[in-house]
Amino acid sequence: MTATIHQLGATRAPSLDAMVQLVSADLNQVNAVILDRMQSEIPLIPELAGHLIAGGGKRMRPMLTLASARLLDYGGARHFKLAAAVEFIHTATLLHDDVVDGSGLRRGKRTANIIWGNPASVLVGDFLFARSFELMVEDGSLKVLRILSHVSAVMAEGEVDQLTAQRRIETSEDHYLKIITAKTAALFAAACQVAAVVAERDEAVEEALDAYGRNLGIAFQLIDDAIDYASDGATMGKDAGDDFRDGKVTLPVILAYARGDEEERRFWREAIEGRRVSDEDLAHAVRLLRAHNAIDDTLTRARHYGQRAIDALGPFPNGKAKAALVEAVEFAIARAY
Amino acid sequence: MTATIHQLGATRAPSLDAMVQLVSADLNQVNAVILDRMQSEIPLIPELAGHLIAGGGKRMRPMLTLASARLLDYGGARHFKLAAAVEFIHTATLLHDDVVDGSGLRRGKRTANIIWGNPASVLVGDFLFARSFELMVEDGSLKVLRILSHVSAVMAEGEVDQLTAQRRIETSEDHYLKIITAKTAALFAAACQVAAVVAERDEAVEEALDAYGRNLGIAFQLIDDAIDYASDGATMGKDAGDDFRDGKVTLPVILAYARGDEEERRFWREAIEGRRVSDEDLAHAVRLLRAHNAIDDTLTRARHYGQRAIDALGPFPNGKAKAALVEAVEFAIARAY
């Protein structure tokens, strides 16, 4: 196989349609596991979990497991449970994130912590996390357990790292990349790698899928961070400017701060420290970001990681699965345009 | 072996000394694992975790694993990691519980959520939970993983169940027992059972240790619930009357409510719904509890479960380990006297 045969920048609008079509039958199996295993005789658990799980998520991570398995021509059924386990880890993280950030809106819906309160969100998150490990134990692969327990620890570390960096304008691009690799990209990577484990493929295949998922995850998060300054609640399903108001130092801010003059830096410092939270302040922030090309350059960085994700697929045979995985990268990036 | 050879009600004051002496060398090994594995390059993680882990905990659950292993003459080293994993699960639960309850004091110290905030407590709890699974995966026993992932889900279910029951005076004794079995006793049971797994003993031994731990855990929680109405912050290391102010329906309240007249029931209803939170209200509650023997009878119930825990040890040979496990039960109960 030639290495780089796909280039970003297709003419038609990329979508997840090819991926959805590729895995739709498999995804039904995963959804059945999810629905079955989020049950509990304590009614609040399926009620709260269902709000988020049934609530318009793209099932991006389980689809990555399923599409990666297709790429490897895996014909078994083990990955259904493991894709559900990955989605449970993701859902648990979302529940806890919304508590940590005090978020009120996700995917255009009120968040669970707003409806049921922080305590319920914390505890149901814990339940889903424990359930995900029960699913892995049923599968019985210690290697999968090692990958997913490690990624869970890494994600929590990334979240704590971000919490510590919050409200500190002096966060470097390297540090920021480390945070998003841990809190977002590591689970994308694990979701893909797990397919190689169940398909019993060699280390090189595991590494290639890990690299695909990791780079896709970084691109995905960079795009999210750019979108937070480029859209409103109606179009993106979460409150625009959330990161700004939470004092989150994301790449657009890091670039604008690095490129700004003394007065601008003072503005950013005050903003990130939480002393500039009005709509006017947000509008001023967006003006500064644009003046320094900070949003565009964040998107350029995202395209860099997107291209690396696509190139990581180089060794795999062409076909529907590979095309779908490539288009998933293009879609992740196109969301910003 | 004869079954019941120990009876509660020794003349000298029972303590954990025998247990501590029995396992002190082993506990050093466990503490080394705990200290090593709570590390992270994100400084807030060991700082926050260390506050709780180093902060005067009795290491009750790891000691149970170690003492159970001694009871079975287990000569290996696998249980050090697993006892640390159990303690991590417990610590993660404490961190999340304090967020859920909004607690300000634990073991006589300010809680982590007060010092570092709820977000940090939630995320470091997640980290410790993930770390506990990494430790289990290193051990490599799927059976242990099954037991401890299941108990983690059961604990979260119990916590959600309690959250739902909170502020509802119509909680039955059965329902209450189910809650404390899930949220407290299940981990005591698992801590003991794990020793039987690493010692490769048969199902009957696992069941006996499970029964010991479960009944001890129930007794332990019942005593805690009685103490909450029977002491002050200085003697018990947490705020007295916390359960009352949080609207927690514990056994003392269930008994007093069941035995009270219409006026008293109205008081309890208002109290549990959060409309009676003054010190005077608490004093009145304690008077009602005493008038109906509700605290004494809670202690009697605790002694019942304590005796069952001791009887579950019947099949095991006499010796230092068994004596220490018996005295741990006596100690758990004597805390209330």
Considering only the beta carbons, identify the residue of B127, B152, B157 that sits closest to A42.
B157
- Residue of B43, B136, B157 lying closest to A40 (CB–CB): B157
Tokens of B214: 């479960």
Nearest to B243 by CA among B179, B297, B292: B179
Closest by CA to A252, choosing from A302, A216, A206, is A302
Q: Tell me, yes or no, whether A274 lies in a domain.
A: yes
Is A220 within 8 Å of A236 (Cβ atoms)? no
CB proximity list for B245: less than 8 A, separation 6 or greater: B277, B282
User: How much is the pLDDT for A238?
Assistant: 52
> Residue A80's pLDDT band (boundaries 50, 70, 90)?
very high
- Range of lowest pLDDT (A83-87, A153-157, B231-235): B231-235
Q: How far apart are CA A141 and CA A118, in angstroms?
A: 34
User: What is the domain-level CATH number for residue A151?
Assistant: 1.10.600.10
pLDDT in tens, B216-252: 999 999 999 999 998 654 444 456 788 898 889 999 9
ipTM: 0.92
What tokens were used for B181?
């079995």
Name the minimum distance, in Å, from the CA of B37 to any CA of chain A.
11
For the ranges A110-114, A237-241, B45-49, which has the lowest average pLDDT? A237-241
Question: Does residue A221 have a pLDDT over 80?
Answer: yes
Q: Which residues of B touch A157 (CB under 8 A)?
A: 40-42, 45, 127
Does the beta-carbon distance from A156 to B119 stay under 8 Å?
A: no
H or E stretch covering B81: helix B78-101
Residue A6 located in a structural domain: no
Cross-chain Cβ contact B160/A42 below 8 Å: yes
φ/ψ of B104, rounded to 5, equals: -115, -10
- The answer to whether residue A2 sits within a structural domain is no
* Residue A168: DSSP 8-state: -
Contact B130 A99 (CB under 8 A): no
Q: Which of A197-206, B46-55, B193-202, B280-289 has the lowest mean pLDDT?
A: B46-55
Instruction: Collect all residues of chain B within an 8 Å Cβ-Cβ radius of residue A100.
Output: 118-119, 122-123
Q: How far apart are CA B281 and CA B119, in angstroms?
A: 33
**Residues 118..177 of A with a Cβ closer than 8 Å to B: which?**
118-120, 122-124, 126-127, 129-131, 133-134, 136-137, 140, 142, 145-146, 149-150, 152-153, 155-157, 159-161, 163-164
Contact of B61 with B191, CB cutoff 8 Å? yes
- Give the model's confidence band at A231: pLDDT under 50 very low, under 70 low, under 90 confident, else very high: low
Q: What is the structure's pLDDT at B238? A: 52
Q: Which residues contact A329 (CB under 8 A, 6 or more apart)?
A: A8, A216, A219, A306, A309, A310
DSSP A50-78: HHHHSSS---HHHHHHHHHHHHTT--SSH
pLDDT in the model for residue B235: 46
Residues of A in contact with B140 (CB under 8 A): 142
- For residue B41, what are the domain limits? 17-334
Q: What is the 3-state secondary structure (H, E, C) of A145-191?
A: HHHHHHHHHHHHHHHHHHHHHCCCCCCCHHHHHHHHHHHHHHHHHHH
Distance CA B225, CA A198 (A): 48
Residue A189: pLDDT over 70: yes
Q: Write out chain A residues lying below 8 Å of B149, CB-based.
A: 130, 133-134, 136-137
Are B327 and B14 spatial neighbours (Cβ–Cβ below 8 Å)? yes
Helix (H) or strand (E) holding B110: strand B109-110
Q: How confident is the model at residue B86, as a pLDDT?
A: 98
Evaluate whether residue B326 is within a structural domain.
yes
φ, ψ at B110 (rounded to 5°): -65, 140
Q: Between these two residues, B59 and B8, which has the higher pLDDT value?
A: B59
Residue B106, strand partner residues: B109
Asked whether residue B10 carries a pLDDT value surpassing 70, the answer given is no
Q: Give the number of domains in chain A.
A: 1
Q: Is B2 within a domain?
A: no
Chain A to chain B Cβ contacts (< 8 Å): 136
Model confidence at A233, pLDDT cuts 50, 70, 90, reads very low
For residues A232-253, give the mean pLDDT. 75
Q: Is B75 on the interface with A (CB under 8 A)?
A: no
Q: CB–CB of A288/A260 below 8 Å?
A: yes
Examine residue B8 and state whether it is found in any structural domain, yes or no: no
Distance of CA B271 to the CA centre of its chain: 26
Contact with chain B for residue A45, Cβ under 8 A = yes
Chain A residues in contact with B178 by the CB 8 A cut-off are none
- Portion of chain A with pLDDT greater than 90, in percent: 83
A248-286 residue pLDDT tens: 999 999 999 999 999 999 999 999 999 999 999 999 999
Establish if B280 belongs to a structural domain. Answer: yes
| Residue pLDDT, tens place only, B82-101 | 999 999 999 999 999 999 98
Q: Residues 6 or more apart from A328 whose CB is under 8 A from it?
A: A16, A19, A60, A63, A64, A67, A216
Would you give the DSSP letter of residue A106?
E
pLDDT for A241 equals: 85
Q: Is residue B7 part of a domain?
A: no
Rounded to a whole number of angstroms, the distance from the CA of A136 to the nearest CA of chain B is 9
Q: Chain B interface, mutation test: which of A44, A121, A123, most B Cβ atoms within 10 Å? A: A123
**A235-244, A255-264, B229-238, B298-307: least confident range:** B229-238
Predicted local confidence at residue A2, as pLDDT: 38
- pLDDT value, residue B92: 97
